[in-house]
Amino acid sequence: MKNSIAYLPKDKQEELNYITKEVLKRLPQAEYIILYGSYARDNYVRRGIRVEDGGIPTVKISDYDILVITSGINSKKAETVLDNVEDIFFAGKDFDRDTPVQFINDDIKNFNKFIEEGRYFLRR
């Protein structure tokens, strides 16, 4: 498990730091903010074009997959806040070229229960 995003390019570090600050500012109930997926594994695609069956080119851009674990807030309310953070982050950006954000939020009690039961996608 990585404890730093120092391996990422400077622009990606800056974007992730901005997202983290916005989440913490708007959602003080956040206990953990976890980057997972291709950016965490360092196998992300900045922008790639591949040709699908039938010769149709499609653009592939990896997103920031971010798990936000909260306590003391309704999940729907937390989801609304995270949607607002996503809107703020993406304001003025190009959907075809810039990195999108995908938030998942969960309550810490559920998260810990799922980890103990081996039902979550994370492993200790």
How distant, in Å, are the alpha carbons of 25, 28, 89 from that of 103?
Answer: 16, 16, 12
Per-residue DSSP letter, 47: S
Q: For residue 89, what pLDDT band results from cuts at 50, 70 and 90?
A: very high
What percentage of the chain carries pLDDT values higher than 90?
62
Cα torsion 7, 66, 15, 97: sign: positive
How distant, in Å, are the alpha carbons of 20, 46, 56, 104 from that of 24?
Answer: 6, 26, 41, 15
Residue-wise pLDDT for 6-35, tens only, equals 999 999 999 999 999 999 999 999 999 999
Domain ranges of the chain: 13-112
Q: Can you tell me the mean pLDDT for 77-105?
A: 90
77, pLDDT greater than 90:
yes
Looking at the domain covering 13-112, what would its CATH class be?
alpha beta
Task: Provide the whole-model pTM.
Answer: 0.84
